[in-house]
């Protein structure tokens, strides 16, 4: 049996592959599967189908991905994803997904920032939601068992091999010991450790990072976090909620408080269609230099577009702003600011099958690393989860079927049980939620869009104080369930993810893609490496393979214009 942790797009795609291969599979998620984080992805999914631009190819898709990764993406991973992207789309079609189409039946594709050609397929501006629904429907057809509302607290490991996981029910507190031949970790990234984020409460808190590291795996590129340029500011309860990149793709214009179309200063050629890192940095700079709105944002305006275009191409954006702000985007601009959006680093994995340092443990989706480097192209994450959901599901199936016996460890189970018993007995004065907020404040202040040595060291000092305070938490489950226990584990995950991010960001003494060091404003060719982190070794450097000639021939130089921020 193979256990899949996470029931978003990546986890469900892996579970489907396992079930279709005839392997017993169990998928476990702490959220309802219909409401996984994948459902929030709005803009689209990339594949060089060449339905709109016949000259497009997987090689050009790979070149664009590597170029905009600032050469930190793994070329082997990039090739696997871009070659396999069309198959990913075909799989969704086979499962019954309805893509937007041209009048002659071709799948519609639109531009997303920094793509050479139109290669982003979509379903309105709710592509992720439609993918999630499609995968849920296919999983139900295959009778894949899904445990919802179950929090996995620890992976069970014996002599370097995983043999299952330990967890509890968020409502009843019931404990689970799940024995499995292999485990696929698909539990997301760590963007919730910033104050303004596109992730909702209690998701993307770094669960995958902690589970993997405590099992003996390592993290790669934890410092490379994508800040999406357009998160809403109000209301505070929804701060960071995304305005889809499709709003810029369809012709939205960015202006500062003075009414200036400021992207002309940062990327006059591509303007609003520039890469996310440059648009986010441009907005941050405008705000920091006093040209932002009173609430600390800039304006994104689509009101000049035909109302019909907005209602058919951006219906979700329109509905979201109406619901949250009573704002009609067909008439008024949207106030936005950069928001922590995507973990481009994650668990260290091998490119061919996303296996980790721990035998039988795999990581996929936002939990993993290798594809995005220092800047993720919009639309690449959804196709990544399809490609590696399929390939990793197949690899986990083969690994499971190759085992003739599997040693287990009573002491590993006992340690997992003791961890929860200890937390439930904790009755200290510290509040878990307050400590989570303290981590978010620290990361926002010292490891946001722009960083420097003094700030990162100050962040590490603050984190050390928070880690000490964590020893005195009080945990009190109540009639509503065991959420307080889950929050305590989220806190442990957030602290580990924050330390990995701060220590790695300190080591990357350069400005590259999403990682802006005001004290090191230039690219350093010696740092064209991946930074790999674990609690025992700290940060080490890993060389990146050369880009194949057929891909490098299609790459343009990456300009650093507009990236010098003091």
Q: Could you give the residue numbers annotated as active site?
A: 228, 248
Helices (H), 95-171: 127-141
Residue listed under structure tokens 């991010």: 501
Rounded Cα distance, 306 and 315, in Å: 13
Q: How many CB atoms lie within 10 A of CB 174?
A: 11
What are the two backbone dihedrals, phi and then psi, of residue 205, each rounded to the nearest 5 degrees?
Answer: -95, 5
| Residue 281 parent element (H or E) | helix 276-288
* Nearest C-alpha neighbor of 17 from the set 145, 155, 144, 181: 144
Continuous segment of H or E residues that includes residue 336: strand 334-343
13 and 385 Cβ atoms separated by less than 8 Å: yes
Nearest-5° Cα angle at 188, 417 to 499? 75
CA distance 239 to 251: 24
For the residues of 511-560, what is the DSSP string, one character each? -BTTBEETTS-S--GGG-EEEEEETTTEEEEEE-PPPPHHHHTTPPPPP-
Cis bond upstream, residue 201 (ω within 30): no
List beta partners, residue 253: 301
- Give CA angle at 474 (473, 479), nearest 5°: 145
For residue 174, give the 3-state DSSP assignment.
Answer: coil
User: Which residues are registered as beta bridge partners of 42?
Assistant: none
Side-chain-side CA neighbours of residue 202 (13 Å)? 18
The token duo for 158 is: 């014996």
Give the other-Cβ count within 10 Å of 421's Cβ.
10
Cβ(334)–Cβ(299) below 8 Å: yes
Q: DSSP secondary-structure letter at 108?
A: P
Place of tokens 């909702």: 200
- Contact of 388 with 94, CB cutoff 8 Å: no
Residue 151 · residue 484 · CB < 8 Å: no
Q: Could you give the count of Cα atoms lying within 13 Å of 52 in the half-sphere of its Cβ?
A: 18
């Amino acid at each position: 049996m193979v256990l899949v942790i996470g029931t978003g797009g990546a986890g469900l795609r892996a579970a489907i592959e396992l079930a279709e291969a005839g392997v017993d599979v169990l998928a476990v998620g702490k959220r309802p599967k219909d409401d996984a984080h994948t459902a929030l992805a709005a803009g689209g999914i990339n594949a060089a189908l060449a339905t709109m631009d016949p000259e497009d190819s997987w090689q050009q898709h790979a070149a664009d991905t590597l170029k905009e990764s600032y050469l930190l993406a793994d070329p082997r991973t990039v090739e696997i994803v871009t070659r396999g992207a069309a198959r990913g789309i075909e799989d969704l079609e086979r499962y019954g997904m309805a893509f937007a189409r041209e009048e002659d039946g071709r799948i519609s594709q639109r531009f997303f920032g920094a793509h050479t050609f139109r290669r982003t397929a979509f379903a309105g501006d709710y592509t992720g939601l439609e993918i999630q629904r499609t995968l849920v429907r296919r999983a139900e057809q295959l009778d894949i068992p899904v445990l919802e509302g179950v929090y996995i607290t620890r992976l069970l490991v014996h002599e370097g091999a995983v043999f299952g996981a330990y967890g509890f029910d968020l409502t009843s507190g019931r404990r689970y010991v799940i024995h499995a031949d292999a485990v696929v970790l698909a539990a997301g990234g760590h963007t919730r450790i910033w104050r303004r984020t596109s992730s909702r409460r209690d998701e993307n808190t770094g669960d995958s990072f902690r589970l993997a590291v405590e099992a003996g795996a390592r993290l790669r590129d934890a410092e490379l976090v994508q800040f999406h340029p357009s998160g809403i500011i109000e209301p505070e309860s929804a701060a960071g909620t995304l305005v889809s990149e499709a709003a810029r793709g369809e012709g939205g214009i960015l202006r500062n408080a003075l009414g200036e179309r400021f992207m002309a200063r940062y990327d006059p050629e591509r303007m609003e269609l520039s890469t996310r890192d440059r648009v986010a940095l441009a907005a941050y700079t405008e705000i920091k230099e006093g040209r932002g709105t009173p609430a600390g944002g800039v304006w994104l305006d689509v009101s000049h577009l035909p109302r019909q275009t907005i209602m058919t191409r951006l219906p979700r954006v329109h509905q979201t702003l109406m619901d949250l702000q009573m704002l009609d985007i067909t008439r008024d601009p949207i106030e936005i600011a950069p928001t922590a959006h995507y973990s481009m680093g994650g668990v260290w994995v091998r490119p061919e099958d996303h296996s980790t340092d721990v035998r039988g443990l795999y990581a996929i989706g936002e939990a993993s690393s290798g594809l995005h480097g220092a800047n993720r192209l919009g639309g690449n994450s959804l196709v990544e989860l399809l490609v590696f959901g399929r390939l990793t599901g197949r690899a986990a199936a083969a690994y499971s079927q190759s085992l003739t016996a599997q040693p287990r460890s009573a002491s590993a189970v006992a340690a997992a049980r003791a961890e929860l018993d200890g937390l439930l007995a904790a009755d200290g004065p510290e509040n878990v939620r307050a400590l989570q907020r303290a981590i978010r404040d620290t990361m926002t202040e010292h490891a946001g869009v722009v960083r420097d040595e003094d700030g990162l060291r100050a962040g590490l000092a603050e984190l050390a104080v928070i880690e000490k305070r964590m020893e005195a938490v009080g945990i009190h489950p109540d009639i509503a369930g065991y959420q307080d226990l889950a929050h305590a584990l989220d806190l442990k995950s957030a602290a580990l993810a924050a330390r990995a991010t701060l220590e790695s960001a300190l080591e990357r003494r350069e400005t590259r893609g999403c990682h802006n060091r005001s004290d090191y404003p230039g690219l350093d060719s010696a740092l064209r490496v991946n930074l790999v982190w674990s609690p025992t070794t700290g940060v080490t450097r890993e060389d990146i393979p050369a880009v194949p000639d057929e891909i490098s021939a299609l790459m343009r130089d990456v300009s650093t214009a507009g990236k010098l921020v003091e």
